[in-house]
Amino acid sequence: MTLAPPPAEQRHGLTDREYELVVEALGRAPNSVELGMFGAMWSEHCAYKHSRSLLGRLPREGARVLVGPGENAGAVDIGDGRAVVFKVESHNHPSAVEPYQGAATGVGGIIRDIFTMGARPIALLNSLRFGPPDPDEETDPTTAARNRYLMGGVVGGIAGYGNCIGIPDVGGEVVFDPSYSGNPLVNAMCVGIARHDEITLARAAGAGNVLLLVGASTGRDGIQGASFASASLGADSEERRPAVQVGNPFLEKLLMEACLELGATDAVVAMQDLGAAGLTCALAELTARGGVGAEVDLDAVPCREGGMSPYEVLLSESQERMLIVVPPGRVDEVRAVFERYELAAAAIGHVIDEPVIRASSGGELVCRVPGRALADDAPRYEITGSRAVPVDADLEALAGEPADASVLLDLLASPNARDRKPIWRRYDHMNGTNTLVGPGAGDAALLRVKGTRHALALSIDGPGPARIGALDPYLAGASAVIEGAMNVACSGAIPVGITDCLNFGSPETPLGAWQLERAIDGIADACRILDVPVVSGNVSLYNETPAGPILPTPVIGTVGLLEDRASAVPMIWRDGDELWLVGDPAGDAAALAGSELAWRRRRRGGTPRLDLPAATSVVWLLARLAAGGMSGAAHDLSVGGLAVALARMAIAAGAGAEVELEGERPTATLFGERCGRAVVAVRPADSERLAFTAREAGVPVHRLGRAGGERLSIRAGATRLAVGLDELAAAWGAPL
């Protein structure tokens, strides 16, 4: 006999069929507590129902991989018995409703993912997307004001949490587009260092081992936040404010130090932070991974509010909490550590052999659920998409137009290209004394690995061009990978691992399904050609408002390794350096597809192209040039193309350049944004060696000119640009 499902508003987002699967998993109808647990754990945010089968296409193995997807974060070997541990997470929906706390708790959550692994966090990065901050033809003043409010709150939340906990925020990106109005993207990445033998996994084991809930007390904030993050934003979004968590970075600092101290001992069997779905998720994932169960007394959970129900205790997403598995004989030792940091450590239950989670309150059983059913048995949906119809934009005419200095200055001053100092100066990027290159000073952040000669090059970036996802989501995924690899390679590093954050609209529409699948395929193909694994990541779907979905936005966090940090490459050229374009000159109309120039000219179509093997060859050539001491400076071509890249380097160096280019399409040559290209500066004595090395690698290079003087002068066909450094700096420094 099939049980009738409860009314839709009581199913916590579960469909009729999903409710039937819950009944099958339990062998009976769920009670209200169990239904809430399944609703949270089977939400898109936790279960990846529409993306999990696609994520299996990503390469996740490699010689350096120590821990891949499936744990709290990925870990990659960097030599000397050390590993870099890293992951990126989204906090988009909470930030749309309560930007400060949404962003702050996103930072707090990703930090816990890293130190849960036994790694000390050394760096934060972020990728942010907002609607236009200024009114224009597409954005009315009220919407622009709302976008500025969201940006201010998000930046404040990131700064407030990261600065207080003492982890430097060293890099990131900010992109503006009307599609993000009302649905900003807040993707936070954290990077840590651990010794191989101190990496801690989230796998409960050992019947009788004690479950310690440590850190903050449990409140009513964030209940059903996972379900909130799995639905499109609508007119009722402000009413969902209680689903947003509230953070306490000072408490998390204490929690981090205590957990890291314990992680260096053998007193801890497993550790799991309480993030989405709170205690329910921590219990489910710990037991499912370990093939065991748990018996829990909810009355033993420290609560900061009176009268909390079992439902609220199990599903609260209050921040700064960890669940730790400890042998009975070590409980006093572990508690003593937390007491020294003035943190609570409550024994709320123990591990059992039977693979179920049994929780009681007031002496009565309130749930009996198999952990695997919650964590692993959510339905998986095979999505079916329909390709978007290509849009023509007459880019041939634009590509051949001559350009003057006003075009360059307009692009430099555009919201997507101008100086980000008003944002990153709010972050303390020197915390920890490891930062060698911080935000704004290079294509990637550079941090030393203490006790070694190594350095890590870190980047988080979306597709280049930024709007390419609207035209070809496959190339959006592929170019995001190449963009990240180029960033670390321009710093002299080799990419060793990536983490991805996939931000898309609804996968239940034909267009949304197609965009998601094609972007994942693009990431997979680019990673295989680069031979770089995806070791962790996050999927954020249903990013849309009544006005429509966001642009397809795959974001890639890239970690690169410099064996010797003395070989790091800056972005600043020197007087007399010869300037070379490394890679495809891209003087064709397709290079403008999705570019900042085309978008500002309302040419929002075209068919972009990207030669992945050729772009990959550029990445490895840049690393080879750095290792050989040939690169005096390097900068990849992204927003605004070659002209803006030259301007950025000139501003950074305080020295101009004389540049001459060939080609019949000067605008495409100067402002095309095809990724996988870079400007490299070398001393004249090294020019022949650079050209020879490039020929060996099969990479085209073109001599551009020479650095020096007080202005940037460019000749490209019929185009003549000559702009003084002060004028360039004034445009780029336009207030954000």
Provide the annotated active-site residues.
45, 91
Cis peptide before 69 (omega within 30 of 0): no
Structural element, H or E, at residue 220: none
Cα–Cα distances in angstroms (integers) from residue 631 to residues 38, 107, 218, in the given order: 55, 35, 54
The residues near 629 (Cβ < 8 Å, ≥ 6 apart) are 567
Nearest to 543 by CA among 509, 573, 503: 503
Residue indicated by tokens 């020295």: 655
Distance CA 123, CA 166 (A): 10
CB crowding 212-222: b at 16 or more within 10 Å, else e: bbbbbbbbbbb
Sheet containing 494-503: order of strands: 435-437, 445-448, 455-461, 553-562, 494-503, 534-540
Distance, CA of 362 to CA of 202 (rounded, Å): 29
Bin 349: left if φ > 0, else alpha if -120 < ψ < 50, else beta: left
Phi/psi at 148 (nearest 5 deg)?
-65, -40
Tokens 């019947």 found at: 207
Q: For the purposes of burial, counting CB atoms within 10 Å of the CB of 227, is it exposed (0-12), middle (13-18) or buried (19 or more)?
A: buried
Amino acid identity for residue 468 in this structure:
I
Which residue reads 């997979």 in tokens? 524
CA–CA gap between residue 203 and residue 217 (Å, rounded): 23
* Size (the chain), residues: 736
Query: Phi and psi dihedrals of 538, rounded to 5?
Result: -155, 150
User: What angle, rounded to 10 degrees, do the helices at 99-115 and 141-165 form?
Assistant: 40
SS3 of residue 541 by DSSP: coil
3-state secondary structure of 492: coil
In angstroms, rounded to a whole number, what is the distance separating the alpha carbons of residues 696 and 692? 6
- State how far Cα 676 lies from the chain centre: 20
What phi, psi does 522 have (nearest 5°)?
-65, -45
Q: For residue 238, count other CB atoms closer than 10 A to its CB.
A: 9
